[in-house]
Structure 1
Amino acid sequence: MSDLDELPGDPTGPFTPMFTGEIPVQHPPPPQEPELPSAPALPVAVPGAYQYLKRWTFVLVVACVWIAAAAAGWGLYHWWYHSLDKTAPVFVVLCFLIACTVGGLLTAMVPGRPVFSALAVAITSAPLAATAAAAVLHGLYFCEWASRCLAGVIPY
């Protein structure tokens, strides 16, 4: 028998509890009504501030963002078309898409400001305007080689 078989301490054996008397019953404390969390504060309407957005304001906000996005799409396509190594322009386009998505989502989280909601829609849809501008530039470049083009942009 090795030393590992015998462990120091009290020897183990079967344990039988000895009941010498009755154990008093302990009653649980009476249930307390749980405290309800306070309701979040409702947005307060500020006098003189619109809770909605007029259509012309929405169109103006979207148009301004789309003009900037169209310029960015035009420039990115021009850079991509004329560069020999396409890695950098494609990476910048990916960064543009990520920035538009994250920027639109963060802008949409501003509470109680309808102009920021319109700005969020415009920023999130900015890649559409950039793609449209790039498509126009692609048509212009392609029509330099095509024999027939409609309005100098659409080959047929």
Structure 2
Amino acid sequence: MPETDTIAGEPTEPYTPTFDTGPFEAPQSGQVAVEERSEPMPIPAHPVVVPGNYQYLKRWTFVLVVAVVWALAAAAGWGLYHWWYHSLDKTASVFVVLVFVICSTVGGLLVAMAPRPLASAVAVAVTSAPLAAVGGAAVLHGLYFCEWASRCFVGLIPY
């Protein structure tokens, strides 16, 4: 017996709903339905640039903001790795690392909504703070590992 997509007793024609929108007048052939405006459209105003207020950020300011936030994040990564390395129960330290990553991501996204150039630089720096934290943790990991390794480059990188 061939299988079909319909159940016995089910109508096989497609369902088209009927909408009760009420009567409306369709334009006759050759007519175009146009709304007439009583006023002309306003011309959008050009942004006013005030001298001394930049619409962009200078490169050195951006680098300085990112460097300061990354230095703080590297110190946080150093401390979190130190805590994780020396703790017997790693649950709390891993949870704090997760909270750090979530807070830096959400904080960066919230700061990015501010319409200021400096806030944009802070948003980029805060969003990428986990990268700097991993860098700080990597330095401490290299120091810990080189205590047992026989050969290390500059006392930091085992080879």
Give the TM-score band, short-chain normalised.
0.7 to 0.9
* In 1: Cα distance, 2:24 partner to 2:133 partner: 74
TM-fit CA distance, 1:48: 1.5
Measured against aligned partners, the alpha-carbon deviations of 1:29-58 in whole angstroms (never above 9, x if no partner) come to x97569xxx999875433320111111101
Amino acid at match of 1:136: V
Q: Which structure would you say has the larger Rg?
A: 1
Could you tell me the TM-score, scaled by structure 2's length?
0.72
1:82 aligns with 86
Superposed counterparts of 1:118-137, under 5 Å: 118-137=121-140
Superposed counterparts of 1:89-128, under 5 Å: 89-111=93-115, 113-128=116-131
Amino acid at match of 1:54: K
* Percent identity over paired residues: 74
Could you tell me the TM-score, scaled by structure 1's length?
0.73
* In 1: Cα distance, 2:125 partner to 2:24 partner: 66
CA pair 47-27 structure 1, distance change in 2 beyond 3 A: same
* In 1: Cα distance, 2:35 partner to 2:114 partner: 39
2:57 aligns with 53
Structure 1, unmatched stretches of 5+, are 1-24
Aligned residues: 128
* In 2: Cα distance, 1:131 partner to 1:40 partner: 48
CA pair 122-26 structure 1, distance change in 2 beyond 3 A: closer
RMSD: 2.6
Structure 2, unmatched stretches of 5+, are 1-22, 27-32
Aligned with residue 140 of structure 1, among 140, 143, 147: 143
